[in-house]
């Protein structure tokens, strides 16, 4: 039987075990230590632009602390890309603020700069206040039109928090994504471009900002011979063990990025003879995606075997590896879901032991955010209806890609 082919599994190929063993040998197993310092230095060299980096427990924690540093408070509004994972928007609600969702443009699938400006103007007109921050996302590693987004942000003097969780190593005009705005968010979850098993980091503009983020990330303790707290802090600092994994991963990060790009080229070649399936690629020369996940669009007219069985059986667990911690679905359908041919293709791949996944369901279509302000143009909703993510990680081989494409071809009527 074909071994399971996963979307993006971690690959240990550097000196991870060496750095972990050093941590055990010296008893540095807490959220500070030599590996943390060295990992942050490695990240600062990688992102460049004289930026400083704080290693944290998750990318979600990085979003949270970036918004805190931007002064987001209860009652404020923060503009965030709708086409993304919930970790981009949930931290806004942690702070008692309101996410205001902005739809995507069709080239990169990321925040539409023109719609962003319309949203800001309208929020000022409606509330008398401008949003406190703007959170664009680099979806599946694809850089956003960040120069245009930054131009809008400068016009209204609103700080930008770049969610580059999926875009580690992606470039826009040769500059690393996550270094354009005031803060940049990185993720080292087990399925990202590099991993620390779980973890993230915040790219900061300078040393002073880095120290302030570290203060909040270590429970906001004041300098007294006892525990004195004058502000609310968080337990968000990365451990020395996890940072040791990250140090080893940084030794092979370029290999990972190159492998993801290689897989994209192979998908492009093999899918070029398949009618009705389109691979999403860099839309312009200045955009250089890491292709964290390869994504495809299925034409509405494409017929796939098993469409009559789409959404007739409840899935076990949940998408994204959260099995065992989900609520039982109340019905087989929601009010907005991918087309039957997309679900039939997902089922065909699953039957062949291949993991695939629909594109992110836009946040403005999520029940938890049904009453939030949203500025939409139909792009993200349309993409969600007809898109699918394919295996793309460093553990995916050329033979795997050939098997995946053959499986899709055989599923087409």
91-125 confidence digits (pLDDT tens): 999 999 999 999 999 999 999 999 999 999 999 99
Give the whole-angstrom CA distance, residue 49 versus residue 267.
33
CA distance 87 to 41: 26
Q: Both 247 and 327 in a single domain?
A: no
For residues 387 and 266, state if they share a domain: yes
Using CA atoms, how far apart are residues 52 and 44, in angstroms rounded to an integer? Answer: 6
Of the residues 185, 220, 252, which one is the last residue of a structural domain?
252
Check whether residue 183 and residue 106 sit in a common domain: yes
* CA 152 to chain centroid: 23
Residue 321: inside a domain: yes
In a domain, 75, yes or no: yes
144-162 average pLDDT score: 98
Instruction: Classify residue 301 by burial, with Cβ atoms within 10 Å: 0-12, 13-18, 19+.
Output: exposed
Query: pLDDT category, 30, cuts 50, 70, 90?
Result: confident
Q: Look at residue 7 and tell me if it is in a domain.
A: no
Residue with tokens 């940072």: 243
Q: Is residue 10 a part of any domain in this protein?
A: no
Both 152 and 195 in one domain: the answer is: yes
Q: Are residues 392 and 370 in the same domain?
A: yes
Give dist(CA 331, CA 348) in Å, integer.
22
Residues 6+ apart with CB under 8 A from 266: 398, 401, 402
Range 15-47 burial, b when 16+ CB lie within 10 A, else e: bbeebbebbeeeebeebbbbbbebbbebbbebb
pLDDT grade, residue 330 (50/70/90)?
Answer: confident
User: Rounded distance, CA 316 to CA 400, Å?
Assistant: 25
- On whether both 234 and 262 belong to a single domain, the answer is no
Question: Residues 131, 218: one domain?
Answer: yes
Q: Of 180, 204, 199, nearest to 189 (Cα)?
A: 199
CATH of the domain at 239: 3.40.640.10
252, 269, 304: which is the final residue of a domain? 252
Structure tokens at 94: 């942690």
Contact present, 48 and 148 (Cβ < 8 Å) = no
Enclosing domain of residue 32: 16-252
* Position 3 in a domain: no
**Residues 242 and 324 reside in one and the same domain:** no
pLDDT in tens, 287-317: 999 999 999 999 999 999 999 999 998 776 6
Are 232 and 146 within one domain?
Answer: yes
Last residue of a domain, one of 252, 267, 296: 252
CATH number, residue 311: 3.90.1150.10
Average model confidence (pLDDT) for the chain? 96
- Alpha-carbon span 37 to 54, nearest angstrom: 9
Q: Kindly state the average pLDDT of the residues 15-22.
A: 97
> Looking at the structure, do residues 245 and 295 belong to the same domain, yes or no?
no
Number of separate domains in the chain: 2
Based on the domain organization, do 221 and 315 belong to the same domain?
A: no
The secondary element (H helix, E strand) that includes residue 54 is strand 52-56
Q: Does residue 11 belong to any structural domain of this protein?
A: no
Same domain, 183 and 248: yes
């Amino acid at each position: 039987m074909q071994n399971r082919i996963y979307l993006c599994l971690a690959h240990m190929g550097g000196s991870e075990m060496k750095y972990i063993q050093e941590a055990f040998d010296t008893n540095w197993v807490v959220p500070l230590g030599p590996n943390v310092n060295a990992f942050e230095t490695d990240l600062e060299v990688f992102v460049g632009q004289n930026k400083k980096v704080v290693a944290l427990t998750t990318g979600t924690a990085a979003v949270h602390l970036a918004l805190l540093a931007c002064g987001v408070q209860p009652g404020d509004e923060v503009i965030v890309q709708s086409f993304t994972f919930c970790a981009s928007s949930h931290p806004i609600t942690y702070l008692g603020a309101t996410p205001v969702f902005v739809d995507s443009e069709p080239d990169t699938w990321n925040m539409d700069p023109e719609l962003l400006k319309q949203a800001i103007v309208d929020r000022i007109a409606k509330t008398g206040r401008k949003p406190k921050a703007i959170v664009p996302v680099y979806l599946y590693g694809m850089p956003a039109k960040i120069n245009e987004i930054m131009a809008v942000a400068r016009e209204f003097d609103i700080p930008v928090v770049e969610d580059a969780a999926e875009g580690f190593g992606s470039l826009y005009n040769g500059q690393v994504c996550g270094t354009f705005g005031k803060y940049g968010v990185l993720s080292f979850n087990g399925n990202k471009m590099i991993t620390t098993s779980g973890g993230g980091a915040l790219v900061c503009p300078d040393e002073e900002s880095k120290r302030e983020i570290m203060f909040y990330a270590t429970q906001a303790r004041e300098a007294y011979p006892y525990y004195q707290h004058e502000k609310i802090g968080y337990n968000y600092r990365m451990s020395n063990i996890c940072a040791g994994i990250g140090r080893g991963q940084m030794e092979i990060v370029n290999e990972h990025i190159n492998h993801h790009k290689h897989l994209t080229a192979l998908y492009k070649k093999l899918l070029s003879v398949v009618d009705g399936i389109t691979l999403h690629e860099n839309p312009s020369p200045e955009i250089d995606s890491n292709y964290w996940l390869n994504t495809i669009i299925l034409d509405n007219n494409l017929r796939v075997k098993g469409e009559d069985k789409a959404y007739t059986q409840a899935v076990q667990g949940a998408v994204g590896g959260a099995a065992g911690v989900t609520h039982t679905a109340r019905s087989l359908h929601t009010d907005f879901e991918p087309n039957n041919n997309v679900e039939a293709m997902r089922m065909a791949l699953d039957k062949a032991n291949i993991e695939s996944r629909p594109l992110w369901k836009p946040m403005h279509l999520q029940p938890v955010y049904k009453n939030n302000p949203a500025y939409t143009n139909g792009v993200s909703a349309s993409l969600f209806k007809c898109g699918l993510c394919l295996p793309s990680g460093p553990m995916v081989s050329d033979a795997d890609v050939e098997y995946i494409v053959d499986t899709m071809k055989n599923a087409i009527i």
